Structure 1
Amino acid sequence: MAREEALLSTEIVNRGIESSGPDAGSLTFSVRVRRRLPDFVQSVNLKYVKLGYHYLISHAIYLATIPVLVVVFSAEVGSISREGLWNFLWEDTARYDLVTLLAFFGVLVFTLSVYFMSKPRSIYLIDFACYRPDDELKVSKEDYIELARKSGKFDEGSLEFQKRILQSSGIGDETYMPKSVWLPENCSTMKEGRAEASEVIFAALDELFEKCRIRAKDVGILVVNCSLFNPTPSISAMIVNHYKMRGNILSFNLGGMGCSAGIIAIDLARDMLQANPNNYAVVVSTEMVAFNWYPGSKRSMLIPNCYFRMGCSAVLLSNRRPDFRRAKYRLEHIVRTHKGADDRSFRCVYQEEDERSFKGLSISKDLMEVGGDALKTNITTLGPLVLPFSEQLLFFATLVKKQLFGGKDASKPYIPDYKLAFEHFCVHAASKTVIDELQRNLGLSEKNVEASRMTLHRFGNTSSSSIWYELAYLEGKERVKRGDRVWQLAFGSGFKCNSVVWRSMRRSRRPSRNNPWLDCLDRYPVPL
């Protein structure tokens, strides 16, 4: 019972004066019960702490062995004088020492060779592009309700529910939606899906190729992620066909993996670049709004209609050493967490049909709790890789204290300050509630979550591409400096929570063009 109470917040709302009935003239109130993220940083699973350190020391054996071998080898050589070296090499009495010296030298060379052969190649992010639709596709919250009413697809109860969701969503009046969703006929067709995919993806890729000054035929690896629209031939095949890419390109199409699939796509591209040297990889992240539009009246399936908006990102990665000079970022870490083994986590975001056979995405009331558990696991694993030693020491001190003394009087685990590990945060702009709870639990400042809030306000929830609109915001504000660390955090159906960490290679400059925020950057941040 206490656990349930911790996950609920109660809000009493004055609904005004009752106009008729037995209670006429009296004040009426309604009580809203809202689920919130649990205080997941207050309870720690040691299994995931160990997993994080396992990632950290995977190559540490070489880093520990090489200095020892160097010291021993130097001591052996340094102890021999010039005259003694001649005797050491030619007299029979020195044969044993010569064998020892050569053995140490051989082990040193072997260890160095294994280390450099097993060390992953550096992966560079050359640049990225975010699609910005035409202004004629802008839809304000008021226009949304009016257009939805005129479409004839929703009853008054459904319209009122969507209106309440929009008012508290954190979404502004300049987000973009396809015109087809407002037509009376069905918009969830393959034709509409392909039309929207062609519009958003090709525009983003055209911009990327122009910014990076490369040809489509130079790309050796293509990874596309779109969760709910998966035609045949695939979207990746659409791209290959449109740009006439080379025949030996390694293409992949990820479907059904939710809003965190953008980081999964980066992870796949990284693995492919490790296996294919001197190559370029393009990662495209998007979602089709019209194809996933729900025209029914089931409340849990109407929520995605209110949040999801048009968007697409295209990212160029490289493992070519010459690209070190022009790259924007270097890939540091990727940590992925999957909670799909738990049935409740598996079904908290679920595509299904309602009683009228209308297809849609159903959002469970358990989403906040499930998301909190996945996030707790992810950041617990990520912590040892990125946190300063002082933070890890304080964390373990309080953790050991709790293990030794236990009980209610034991101190809570020390909550690491992730602001010491990262200069910039790009948290998936899912909803205002999610951003609020993440800020509270991680102890982030308003400036830390500014990019997420403003992206939600300006572009809405663009699914897996939202973290790139956030990074474009930070670059547009010229906040990213050389050496800064950027944490992109996303979560989605499955249930999955994924993190990627980038290191900035150069200072960002105010863009003259090709930035989705260019026409409105001076107006942001806006008060919410």
Structure 2
Amino acid sequence: MNPQDLHHLWLHLKYNLVCVITCSAILVFGSTVYIMTRPRSIYLIDYSCYKPPSNLTVKFNKFIQHSKLKGDFDESSLEFQRKILERSGLGEETYLPEAMHKIPPTPNMASAREEAEQVMYGALDNLFANTKIKPKQIGILVVNCSLFNPTPSLSTMIVNKYKLRGNIRSFNLGGMGCSAGVIAIDLAKDMLQVHRNTYAVVVSTENITQNWYFGNKKSMLIPNCLFRVGGAAVLLSNKGSDKRRAKYKLVHVVRTHKGADDKAFKCVYQEQDDVGKTGVSLSKDLMAITGGALKTNITTLGPLILPVSEQLLFFTTLVVKKLFNAKAKPYIPDF
């Protein structure tokens, strides 16, 4: 092989080496960007629901008897509450806080704190015991309770009780009603996308003690019949190693905010009645507004979860209805 051939071979190898290095660099850079920016999988490791002690059980008859002894309700209000209880779907094994079992009731701050502590700590103790997770491992804490928001906050009470670490991301959601459970999960999901290799705990509850209504306005009596002691704690993780033991994987969270609509804004409203007694009023529009929000959510969720065949059927019938036959029934996807 002459020197000219060797020179051509060197140029060929040199050119290929530059291509290989360039392609490798692009591949490594692209893979790094993808790994760094792709959404992390969120896993639900376990959850725990608080069950109060049996002495806090409230039978329907006991509920009505205590309401009579409290002396705040007229006969019409008592009969209204009896009908709501019978039609509500609640059983005879629901619970009220200890303060509401006393005659007279003691709806003070100390009793409300005691209820919150029993519910939150009861659910968390069971969650930590079942998952074998140490409190110090928790990196994100989200607590939601619509009506009871003391200072220090409920989330701070949990931090103090379990001596959680100083750099924990802690959030306390209030005044957001029944939707706050889903909102809290959504917030925890967003935080787990930002902070790597950690756990998030979501605690969802409501507090009865200071929010019992002692008046006679019908729309404000309904929460007395529906709300009971309860709470849940959920453990979420973004660790790949938790995939095998997780109960669920979080895929989609969809929320529609109807607060811009005046009827929706007023459908669950904390206020005082004509004699100055505070309670939460549930309007007659509540079910219609809830149904509208659910319809919007399902419409948003459909394209994310339905197979292409169902989406094509829905789209085809929609086109037929719009262009050819306005009376044609729209296709309802098989969820």
Give the TM-score, by structure 2 length.
0.91
1:332 aligned to 2:251? yes
**Does the aligned pair in 2 maintain the 1:151–1:183 contact within 8 Å?**
no
Q: Which residue in 1 is equivalent to 2:262?
A: 343
Which deviations, in whole Å up to 9, do the C-alpha atoms of 1:72-130 show, x marking residues without a partner?
xxxxxxxxxxxxxxx898449x96x9988887776655544433322111111111111
Distance 1:330 1:179 in 2: 37
**Does the aligned pair in 2 maintain the 1:262–1:285 contact within 8 Å?**
yes
| SS of 1:315 mapped into structure 2 | strand
Task: Identify which of 104, 115, 131 aligns with 1:212.
Answer: 131
Distance 1:346 1:222 in 2: 28
Alignment of structure 1 residues 365-376 onto 2, 5 Å = 365-376=284-295
Distance 2:305 2:173 in 1: 28
**Does the aligned pair in 1 maintain the 2:99–2:107 contact within 8 Å?**
no
| SS of 1:350 mapped into structure 2 | strand
**Does the aligned pair in 2 maintain the 1:177–1:309 contact within 8 Å?**
yes
Q: Which residue in 2 is equivalent to 1:194?
A: 113
Change (3 A) 1:312 1:89: farther
Task: Identify which of 52, 66, 73 aligns with 1:154.
Answer: 73
Superposed displacement of residue 387, structure 1? 1.2
Task: Identify which of 53, 56, 78 aligns with 1:137.
Answer: 56
Q: Aligned letter for 2:252?
A: H
Change (3 A) 1:114 1:166: same
Q: Which residue in 2 is equivalent to 1:43?
A: none
| SS of 1:180 mapped into structure 2 | helix
| SS of 1:334 mapped into structure 2 | coil
CA-atom RMSD, angstroms?
Answer: 2.3
Q: Aligned letter for 1:155?
A: D
Task: Identify which of 146, 170, 183 aligns with 1:264.
Answer: 183
Superposed displacement of residue 251, structure 1? 0.7
| SS of 1:412 mapped into structure 2 | coil
1:412 aligned to 2:329? yes
Q: Which residue in 1 is equivalent to 2:299?
A: 380
Change (3 A) 1:353 1:88: farther
Superposed displacement of residue 405, structure 1? 2.8
| SS of 1:333 mapped into structure 2 | coil
Change (3 A) 1:110 1:217: closer
| SS of 2:252 mapped into structure 1 | strand
**Does the aligned pair in 2 maintain the 1:294–1:358 contact within 8 Å?**
yes
Superposed displacement of residue 192, structure 1? 1.7
**Does the aligned pair in 2 maintain the 1:349–1:367 contact within 8 Å?**
yes
Q: Which residue in 2 is equivalent to 1:364?
A: 283
| SS of 2:83 mapped into structure 1 | helix
Distance 1:123 1:91 in 2: 49
- Structure 2: gaps (5+ residues): 1-7
Q: Aligned letter for 2:273?
A: D
Distance 1:100 1:313 in 2: 57
Q: Which residue in 2 is equivalent to 1:319?
A: 238
Q: Aligned letter for 1:415?
A: I
Structure with more strand by fraction:
1
Alignment of structure 1 residues 438-517 onto 2, 5 Å = none
Change (3 A) 1:158 1:120: same
Distance 1:395 1:335 in 2: 21
Which deviations, in whole Å up to 9, do the C-alpha atoms of 1:199-231 show, x marking residues without a partner?
111111111111111221221111100011000
Distance 1:109 1:406 in 2: 55
**Does the aligned pair in 2 maintain the 1:391–1:417 contact within 8 Å?**
yes
Distance 2:206 2:269 in 1: 16
Distance 1:348 1:354 in 2: 16
Distance 1:243 1:153 in 2: 40
Residue identity over aligned pairs, in percent, reads: 59
Alignment of structure 1 residues 29-108 onto 2, 5 Å = 90-91=11-12
| SS of 2:164 mapped into structure 1 | coil
1:281 aligned to 2:173? no
**Does the aligned pair in 2 maintain the 1:294–1:360 contact within 8 Å?**
yes
Change (3 A) 1:412 1:98: farther
Distance 1:265 1:244 in 2: 22
Q: Which residue in 1 is equivalent to 2:311?
A: 392
1:176 aligned to 2:98? no
Which deviations, in whole Å up to 9, do the C-alpha atoms of 1:41-66 show, x marking residues without a partner?
xxxxxxxxxxxxxxxxxxxxxxxxxx
Superposed displacement of residue 402, structure 1? 1.9
**Does the aligned pair in 2 maintain the 1:224–1:284 contact within 8 Å?**
yes
Distance 1:108 1:135 in 2: 62
| SS of 1:395 mapped into structure 2 | helix
| SS of 2:271 mapped into structure 1 | strand
Q: Aligned letter for 2:231?
A: C
**Does the aligned pair in 1 maintain the 2:155–2:172 contact within 8 Å?**
yes
Distance 1:186 1:142 in 2: 17
Q: Aligned letter for 2:128?
A: F
| SS of 1:338 mapped into structure 2 | coil
Q: Which residue in 1 is equivalent to 2:157?
A: 238
1:403 aligned to 2:322? yes
Structure 1 residue runs of 4 or more that deviate by more than 3 Å after TM superposition: 87-92, 97-114, 182-188
Q: Aligned letter for 1:308?
A: F
| SS of 2:197 mapped into structure 1 | coil
| SS of 1:176 mapped into structure 2 | coil
**Does the aligned pair in 2 maintain the 1:152–1:184 contact within 8 Å?**
no
Distance 1:105 1:206 in 2: 51
Superposed displacement of residue 354, structure 1? 0.6
